């Protein structure tokens, strides 16, 4: 995932194109959700208003965050 952060760090995010793609504006961020692998997981991608990308993967069976993948940096 570090490669994605490096790829995006020098780019300007076109928020209108995010909306056209299916992102939803919620307060100060743009969120996109997609169900993966036969309805077992859901990925949530979030761009903040500065263009920083975060993500998490949810196990839909247990409703817990998938621990082996965590894109949210503190």
Q: What is the pLDDT of residues 17-60, one digit of tens each?
A: 999 999 999 999 999 999 998 899 999 999 999 888 888 999 99
3-state helix, strand, coil in the chain (%, to 5): 20, 45, 35
Where are the chain's structural domains?
Answer: 2-70
- Residue 14: CB atoms within 10 A of its CB come to 11
74: pLDDT confidence band, cut at 50, 70 and 90? very low
- Cα gap 32→55, rounded to integer Å: 9
- Cα gap 70→25, rounded to integer Å: 22
Q: What pTM value is reported for the model?
A: 0.79
Give residue-wise pLDDT tens across range 5-18.
Answer: 677 777 889 999 99
């Amino acid at each position: 995932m570090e490669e994605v952060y490096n790829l995006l760090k020098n780019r300007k995010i076109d928020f209108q194109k995010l909306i056209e793609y299916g992102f939803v504006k919620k307060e100060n961020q743009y969120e996109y959700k997609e169900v993966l692998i036969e309805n077992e997981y859901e990925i949530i991608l979030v761009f903040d208003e500065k263009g920083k990308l975060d993500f998490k993967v949810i196990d839909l069976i247990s409703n817990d965050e998938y621990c082996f993948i965590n894109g949210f940096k503190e």
